[in-house]
Structure 1
Amino acid sequence: MNFFEHQDRAKRKSKQLILLLAVAVASLVAITVLLFATLIYVSQQGNTDAYGNASPQSFWAGVSHALTPQAIAWIAIGITSVVLLGSLFRFLQLKSGGRSVAEAMGGRLLHGNTQDSDERKILNVVEEIAIASGTAVPPVYLIEDDAINAFAAGYKPQDAVIGITRGCINQLTRDELQGVIAHEFSHIFHGDMRLNMRLIALLYGILLIGLIGEFLIRHAGNRNIRRSSKDNSPFVMLVLGLGLLIIGYTGTFFGNLIKAAVSRQREFLADASAVQFTRNPDGIAGALKKIGGSSSGSELHNEHAAEFSHMYFSQGVKLFFNLMATHPPLTERIKRINPYWDGHFAENTYKGRKTLDAADGAMGLHDSTADNAAIDINATLQQIAQPTVEQIGVAQERLSEIPRYIKEATLQAFSARAVVFGLLLDRHPDLRTQQLALLNNYVSEDELDNLQRVINNSAMLETRLRLPALELCMPALKELSPSQRQHFLAGLNALINSDKKVSLLEWSFYRIVQHNLEYKPNIQRSLSLRDLHAECQLLLSLLAYAGADNNDDANAAFIHSQSLLPFPALTLLPRGQIKLANADIALEKLNRVKPLQKPQLLKAMSACIHFDGRISVVETEIFRAIADSLDCPIPPLIPRITN
């Protein structure tokens, strides 16, 4: 199953989940109606004897007539409103994405300048896998817990975070950590995170009924016990509260059963993706064995641990029923990865604190500017969200080639801005001076003096190192406040437009920054590619001109690429009709295309820039940047030596 099939499956699972929870809410309504009808029937009886002597038939007949249809309708509206409002309340609490989950779990954001060797180790692993996947590096939160566990949380890759326990980074080797992080990246790319976040919100709405019941019980207990025989309101309130408590927690119980059933199968898929990603089954299998052999296991000690239980790498809460398990048994997971496993869990023998830099273990790959090198983009499209060991090697190599001073600058929001400013500076001295003068409107003179060295050094980075450097900046830039983000984006926009023209690479880089920093609501991917021929025409015309030496070559590339799309022949747009502002709008619409239709568009794009048989580093990075706007992370493109 590839990236697009995973996303389509997640979309269908979301619909099934909503249907199941709708059935659960309908059941709660029916139980609550029965509870109210019973209370009213009992309260109307003259005495307990009358109630006790009532036959079963007369009792049920009395209950069935205790409520009018209007009253039943109001109860249904009330229960549904409580669930929906509770879900909405929790959704708004989690609106900031993965960060809200990590903070609720007591996580501490890891900064790149940490001096702790194990913390630096996990940051290196996350950086490598993110860049090998062609996506911005997510923030990493450390949870001070001896358990071996981790999670990925967020609605989409742009607001995703990785959470990891102290026990995980202290007790696992680098290969085992790589397997765990690859497992979590699988959840990020395949739409599992969004499903997980929706589960949290919907189940909280059901739980709220039980919380209301708790409130009524406490309120009834505070009422004066001494009351007249005719005043039975505290008793009614107590019974009502107890009923709502039972109903709410019963609903939560069955909701958790749904959560567990939805979660278990996805863990097998994420394990398989991690093995395919790292090509090292011993890594993730070793982590699972250490969980089984560790005295701390994977159980997390946090008041919110149960609420987020379906997000973890391994079972994070103690179980009383196997039906409630959100993860398959460790033995079953290990057996699927290693069928010849002897059944013995590993003892934790990893005591060292050696940190491997990003360059350690890097493979000697052929440089992307070498002669006789070709890039197979179509093969790369099959590796979306499933990069190869070679691509992890490329990520390690490029990370090691980024100058230390630049890499350190990407670790803090203040200096990370300077790295991005430098990446967008013109190479011509006069234009660069003009651009720096414009920055005075967005950065104070003292700040600009302090950032000057970073700006100048990042401006001189090789083209193939620019996109990795930009991706490294994202965790730090996400720490900017909303107003700081807007000010920063305005400064970038001023830099790009300073020479009255915008290159395609400048536009692409700006889109990556904007796409990752600006909050946007969840995208509904329901449009058909067939209905977006004008947007495809604009995008392919843009790419055709970018890779061609003349209009004839551009037209030939356009004709070849548009033939791969599911609509009648289109014509190449004149250069004057191509506006980047319109391209922004086109990409926003194309990002809403159904998951299984996006490969057609990506193949047409790749055919366009590869039509002439040669592809420059700039063209590959433009292609990857545009794909990022479509939420299709393209791994680094590896050159193949040709004779």
Structure 2
Amino acid sequence: MTFFARQEAARRRTRVLLVYYAAAVVLIVCAFYLASRAIAGLVTEAARDESREVSGRGRVGFQVFAWDPLWLLVTAGVSAAVIGGGTLYRRASLAEGGAAVAHSAGGREIVPGRADGFLERRLLNIVEEAALASGVPVPRVFVLEEEPGINAFAAGFSLHDAAVAVTRGALERLSREELHGVVAHEFSHIKNGDMRLNSWLLGVLFGILVTSILGRQLMLALRFMRVSGNRKSSGGGIVLIAFLSGLALWVIGSAGVFFARLIQASVSRQREFLADASAVQFTRNPSGLAGALKRIGASSFGSAMRCANRSELAHLLFSPGASLSSLFASHPPLLARIRQLDPGFTGDFTPWRAVPREAAPAPTASSFAAAAGVSALRMPAGGDAESPAAARALPALEPGLRETLARPEDAAAALYGLLLSGDEDVRQRQRSRIAVAEATALAAAAERWRDVLQGMDRITRRQVLDLAVEGVRQRTPDGRAACLALARELADADRERSLFEALLLGRMQRALRPAGVVRGFYGKPLPPARVQDEVATVLGVMAYLGQPHDAAAAEAAWREGVVRATSFGVGRLPMPARRACTLADWDAAVQRLDGLAPLFKGELLNACSFVMRADGALTEDETELLRALADLLDMPLPDGSRFQAA
């Protein structure tokens, strides 16, 4: 199953979960209806005068099961308010994305340039290298200081608000190779789209859990109430109503939590196996991930978590945060996971009890890329040519440059420097605009950055772009919005956007959008048949870019993509004219294509790759355009294997 098919499978599983959730809510409403009528019947009977003969046996049963639409409406409203309110509250608390989840677990953010010691700098380097090599935006990084166990998690609603959190135990007890395996596992969750599913499950589970919490708190509150000894007093009836209501909330909510956790656990176990396999494919090194799992088995702390919300985070974690029965286990058994990676493992963890000692500096990004065998695009069988952007290893940036880009104002100046024009008149207007919108000093800094960046190749400039965007994310929300708006003005200053500018603005737009603005992952996506013209335009831009002077070759390349984009039915359309395939047309088309389901976005990206390699050669411009397309569609850059000819 391809990455994009897995995305669609995750969406289908989510729809099933939504059905289960809706069914659970309906059952909870029915249970509340019956329980409330039973409570009302019991209170009514208890309030009757004892001297009066009670002649209606079974009256309570009649009250319980009698149909009362008004009562049902009230019960449904109260149930929806409790469950829906809890879900919305939890979702609102996660509006900041993965960072909110990390903070809720007691995480402390590691800010580039202010990392505390070698271990934290090593973690930052590993995360940055993995992100840059895989085509995924660099997530925010957190360390869970109070957690001695070996564990980690990735969370967030999208690729651009992701966060990776690692326990202090993992930092101190894992070698670089093993920590790399853990980070790769978490990046696999990011690339496979698990974060959205997991973050959604957090909200749903809390919504059901809140009913149980309310019931328990209501019963506990009764300990402090005193009831009058006067038999005519209504105090006893009030206490009885409160107690029975609390009991009903607690029982019904607990039952809902029971089944919700079953659903959560079954989904989580399968996706952990998937993440392990994806991590090995990503690193080309199963021993690192297997070693991390073996150290968990050898450690006295294991992967245990101490944070109060560890049960809610169970499906996010690298390894179980608490011991659970196999029915509720969020992860497959430890030995089963290890033997998937190392079939010869006997179960003896003794050699893995010693803490590895590493004093050497962390490997550079180039050594990571070489070790991981990273490539963005690979030619089909029979051709060895690779994309120029992928054939070379990622360059290593100087540590001082990394620290500079971690400072928000310096990062903004670097982004503006990337956008400064080579035309003196245009550049002067751009500098004036920066001085007005930001500060004169920042305009001068942008000019200096331009001079430095001119001597760098395109791959290094893209690495600077990625790190600078992460630096600007440290600004206030207004500061991020101002930076994005100014970047758009600078890119349009010469009334023409280059491919690199399209990539830059796409990356900034995704990373710097306001907190809480999340595209509708569960909204109804656009059907492929409604975006035929847009797909034809995107494929046309790709074809004309690769064949700027040969119309026949461009159309042949376009047809190569069309036959791979069968879901869109583009084959019935003529190829768009060259004048209708400008970057502006491409940008407008991509904005609409953003509404597609991930499966069809992946199909489009694959079709574009066939257009690009139709002539047997890949240029840097073609590679950059595909990267910009993947970024604007909020999709990771696919692995090279997905560009193999079928």
2:518 to 517, 520, 523: 520
Aligned pairs (5 A) from 1:8-19: 8-19=8-19
Q: Which residue of 2 aligns with 1:293?
A: 298
Q: 1:301 to 1:375 in 2, by over 3 A?
A: closer
Secondary structure at the residue paired with 1:532?
Answer: helix
Q: 1:521 to 1:342 in 2, by over 3 A?
A: same
> 1:158 corresponds to which letter in structure 2?
H
Q: Which residue of 2 aligns with 1:587?
A: 590
Q: For the residues of structure 2 that align with 1:591 and 1:66, how far apart are their CA atoms?
A: 51
CA contact (8 A) 2:417 2:446 kept: no
- Higher RCO by CA contacts (8 Å cutoff, separation 6 or greater): 1
CA-to-aligned-CA distance 1:388-446 (integer Å, 9 cap, x gap)? 9x999978x4231x455543332222211122222222344554344323321222013
Q: 1:65 to 1:255 in 2, by over 3 A?
A: closer
Secondary structure at the residue paired with 2:61?
Answer: helix
Q: Which residue of 2 aligns with 1:255?
A: 260
Q: Which residue of 2 aligns with 1:269?
A: 274
Aligned pairs (5 A) from 1:159-558: 159-226=161-228, 228-230=230-232, 231=234, 232-319=237-324, 321-345=325-349, 346-359=352-365, 361-362=367-368, 376=378, 397-400=393-396, 402-450=397-445, 452-518=447-513, 519-523=517-521, 524=523, 526-550=525-549, 552=551, 553-558=553-558
Q: Which residue of 1 aligns with 2:633?
A: 630
- Deviation of residue 118 (structure 1)? 0.7
Q: For the residues of structure 2 that align with 1:500 and 1:136, how far apart are their CA atoms?
A: 28
Aligned pairs (5 A) from 1:99-110: 99-110=99-110
The share of aligned pairs that are identical, in percent, is 33
CA-to-aligned-CA distance 1:330-355 (integer Å, 9 cap, x gap)? 12211222221111122132144543
- Deviation of residue 286 (structure 1)? 0.9
Secondary structure at the residue paired with 2:327?
Answer: helix
Secondary structure at the residue paired with 1:461?
Answer: coil
Q: For the residues of structure 2 that align with 1:200 and 1:620, how far apart are their CA atoms?
A: 37
Q: Which residue of 1 aligns with 2:131?
A: 130
Q: 1:36 to 1:635 in 2, by over 3 A?
A: closer
2:151 matches 1:149: yes
Which one is further off, 151-160 or 599-608?
599-608
> 2:231 corresponds to which letter in structure 1?
S
Q: Which residue of 1 aligns with 2:600?
A: 597
Q: Which residue of 2 aligns with 1:382?
A: none
Q: Which residue of 1 aligns with 2:64?
A: 64
CA contact (8 A) 2:154 2:187 kept: yes
- Deviation of residue 597 (structure 1)? 2.9
Aligned pairs (5 A) from 1:45-60: 45=45, 58=58
CA contact (8 A) 1:391 1:636 kept: no
Q: For the residues of structure 2 that align with 1:163 and 1:431, how far apart are their CA atoms?
A: 44
> 1:342 corresponds to which letter in structure 2?
T
CA contact (8 A) 1:562 1:570 kept: no
CA contact (8 A) 1:555 1:572 kept: yes
Which one is further off, 508-517 or 186-195?
508-517
Q: For the residues of structure 2 that align with 1:59 and 1:323, how far apart are their CA atoms?
A: 41
- Deviation of residue 536 (structure 1)? 1.3
CA contact (8 A) 1:559 1:571 kept: no
- Deviation of residue 551 (structure 1)? 5.9
Secondary structure at the residue paired with 1:137?
Answer: coil
After the TM superposition, list the runs of 4 or more consecutive aligned residues in structure 1 that deviate by more than 6 angstroms: 47-50, 53-57, 390-395
Which one is further off, 12-21 or 219-228?
219-228
TM-score (norm 1): 0.88
CA contact (8 A) 1:515 1:629 kept: yes
Q: 1:363 to 1:179 in 2, by over 3 A?
A: closer
Q: For the residues of structure 2 that align with 1:538 and 1:361, how far apart are their CA atoms?
A: 39
Q: For the residues of structure 1 that align with 2:606 and 2:183, how far apart are their CA atoms?
A: 29
- Deviation of residue 575 (structure 1)? 4.6
Secondary structure at the residue paired with 1:349?
Answer: coil
Q: For the residues of structure 1 that align with 2:327 and 2:49, how far apart are their CA atoms?
A: 43
Which one is further off, 56-65 or 243-252?
56-65
Aligned pairs (5 A) from 1:18-33: 18-33=18-33
Q: 1:431 to 1:406 in 2, by over 3 A?
A: farther
Q: 1:432 to 1:290 in 2, by over 3 A?
A: same
Q: For the residues of structure 2 that align with 1:242 and 1:394, how far apart are their CA atoms?
A: 65
> 2:512 corresponds to which letter in structure 1?
L
CA-to-aligned-CA distance 1:365-386 (integer Å, 9 cap, x gap)? 9x99xxxx9963568xxxxxxx
> 2:451 corresponds to which letter in structure 1?
N
CA-to-aligned-CA distance 1:95-122 (integer Å, 9 cap, x gap)? 1211110111111111121251111111
1:571 to 571, 574, 586: 574
- Deviation of residue 562 (structure 1)? 3.4
Q: For the residues of structure 2 that align with 1:541 and 1:77, how far apart are their CA atoms?
A: 53
Q: For the residues of structure 2 that align with 1:613 and 1:279, how far apart are their CA atoms?
A: 27
CA contact (8 A) 1:118 1:355 kept: no
CA contact (8 A) 1:151 1:163 kept: yes
Secondary structure at the residue paired with 2:45?
Answer: coil
RMSD: 3.4
- Deviation of residue 555 (structure 1)? 4.4
Q: For the residues of structure 2 that align with 1:309 and 1:160, how far apart are their CA atoms?
A: 17
Secondary structure at the residue paired with 1:438?
Answer: helix
CA-to-aligned-CA distance 1:490-519 (integer Å, 9 cap, x gap)? 221121122222223322321221122223
CA contact (8 A) 1:128 1:392 kept: no
> 1:398 corresponds to which letter in structure 2?
L
TM-score (norm 2): 0.87
CA contact (8 A) 2:435 2:441 kept: no
CA contact (8 A) 1:363 1:393 kept: no
